[in-house]
Amino acid sequence: MRWCLHLSETPEGGELQVYALDFPDDADFQGGTNIPVSGTVAEHVIQTGKPWSGSREEESEHFPRQFLLAPGFATGCMLPIPGRHHVVGTLGLVRRENNSFSKDEIDFLMQVSNQIGIAVENALAYQQIRELKQKLAQESVHVQDEIRDETNFEEIVGKSAALRRVLAQVETVAPTDSTVLICGETGTGKELIARAIHNLSPRHGHALVKLNCAAIPTGLLESELFGHEKGAFTGAIATAHWPL
């Protein structure tokens, strides 16, 4: 006795896919191929939800597009694989000997088919859960990107790969106490990047003081930025150190 397993993705599907086959050398189809069910014994089994058994002559007489009993096999039996809501496939068995399947054999095979149906339904449910988890993870990443763009970088507009790399570097350096040198041509948004670093830093609750170094005379640059000692130059009447 040989067997084959066919599954359908939808109850109204016009094809069955061969998932397992015990006699590949003697069949007209191979594992993984799709078989049209119209006019076949498989269509009858799927529509009625009941098993069928008979000889090759009986199958050819009632079902013009037979595919269960290939040449060399005398009798066969096809059983529905029941799911929760519809028949999910068929289980076919064939014999070379000319002896029909008995009622006890069919009853036993239906129990096997029921167990296969449970396994198939569980596998489909697991696949759906996995796909939903992947979709949820992708949506979570998308939402996190939107929150980051809207909350932390609301003044920075752009989705290019180069800008995203810069923003990733901003997120990396902002929590640290490292000094950050921002380079770029006029109008490229250096001040926006500086403000983004400040907003993500532990100092975001304090004021961000912007200073135009080009407007400070060279001789006063160090004292304006870092403070000075009393008497260091004319007019330095007291020590002034700016907190960093």
Domain boundary among 92, 126, 160: 126
Residue 71 in domain = yes
Q: Is the same domain home to 7 and 121? A: yes
Q: Tell me: pLDDT of 2 over 70.
A: no
Q: Which residues are CB-neighbours of 20 under 8 A, at least 6 positions away?
A: 3, 4, 5, 31
Domain boundary among 126, 151, 170: 126
Predicted pLDDT of residue 67: 66
Calpha distance 6→12 (Å, rounded): 15
Residue 97 in domain = yes
Calpha distance 6→28 (Å, rounded): 14
Predicted pLDDT of residue 108: 93
Calpha distance 63→114 (Å, rounded): 25
Q: Is the same domain home to 119 and 20? A: yes
Residue 187 in domain = no
Q: Is the same domain home to 113 and 222? A: no
Calpha distance 200→175 (Å, rounded): 7
Residue 62 in domain = yes
226: containing domain: 211-244
**In this structure, is the dihedral angle defined by the CA atoms of residues 133, 137, 143 and 144, taken in order, positive or negative?**
positive
Whole-model pTM? 0.46
Residue 112 in domain = yes
Q: Is the same domain home to 121 and 235? A: no
Domain boundary among 106, 126, 146: 126
Predicted pLDDT of residue 22: 64
Q: Tell me: pLDDT of 111 over 90.
A: yes
Q: Is the same domain home to 6 and 121? A: yes
- From the number of C-beta atoms within 10 Å of its C-beta (0-12, 13-18, 19+), residue 70 rates as middle
Residue 203 in domain = no
Give the count of domains, the chain.
2
Q: What is the pLDDT of residues 119-178, one digit of tens each?
A: 888 888 888 898 888 888 877 766 666 555 545 566 777 778 888 888 889 889 999 988
Residue 143 in domain = no
Question: Contact, 164 vs 144, CB < 8 A?
Answer: no
Backbone angles phi, psi at 168, to 5 degrees: -65, -40
How remote is the C-alpha of 169 from its chain's centroid? 28
Give 143's Cβ-side CA count (13 Å radius).
6
Cβ neighbours around 46 below 10 Å, total: 24
Q: Is the same domain home to 15 and 121? A: yes
Calpha distance 95→75 (Å, rounded): 5
Calpha distance 107→47 (Å, rounded): 19
* Inter-CA distances, 56 with 37, 41, 104, 204, Å: 17, 11, 21, 82
Q: Which of 2-11, 83-92, 233-242 ranks highest by mean pLDDT?
A: 83-92
Q: What is the CATH number of the domain that holds 86?
A: 3.30.450.40
Residue 146 in domain = no
Q: What is the pLDDT of residues 51-102, one digit of tens each?
A: 988 888 888 778 877 666 667 778 888 899 988 888 888 888 888 888 888 8
More confident residue, 223 or 43: 43
